[in-house]
Amino acid sequence: MRGLFLALLGLGGGLVVGSGLVSLLIILDLIPRLAQLGGAYRKAVWFETAVIAGSLFWTFADFMNWRLFLTGPVALPLAGLFDGLFVGMLAAALTEVMNVLPILAKRISLSRHIAALVWAMVLGKTAGSLFDWLYYQW
């Protein structure tokens, strides 16, 4: 009985997370926007296929306990680079869809200084992340 409950709980959690990811990709229009920015709109199917293939691959990797033994001075920075690219592109897409920066700049009367506002946000995020990693994590 407990196993059935855990299986249903896991299935329900997976459905919720998967549905959230799909709705986020659809609402943000992330894949067509990437294809448009890359000048590869006719090849948008490849972007969609890459998302699906990546999701399936890492689902199997998680379920089957696959391990990647990447050591050395290149592996962790490379993984961090790809993680940062993903998070940055997702944040940029959300910002672009919501038109956060122009609205914020207009409301606080900084329309002429939008570049400084963006740099302040970037440097603040970087400083906060470094403080967290170097002070709290160590």
- Phi first, then psi, for residue 55 (nearest 5°) are -65, -45
Count of other CB atoms within 10 angstroms of residue 93: 19
Query: Quick check: 110 and 117 in contact, CB under 8 A?
Result: yes
Determine, yes or no, domain membership for 86: no
pLDDT tens-digit series, residues 102-125: 777 777 777 777 788 778 878 888
Tokens of 28: 């943000």
Determine, yes or no, domain membership for 120: no
For residue 30, what are the domain limits? 1-67
The SS3 of residue 103 is: helix
pLDDT tens-digit series, residues 17-38: 877 777 777 777 777 777 777 7
Residue 98 reports pLDDT greater than 80? no
* Number of domains the chain is built from: 1
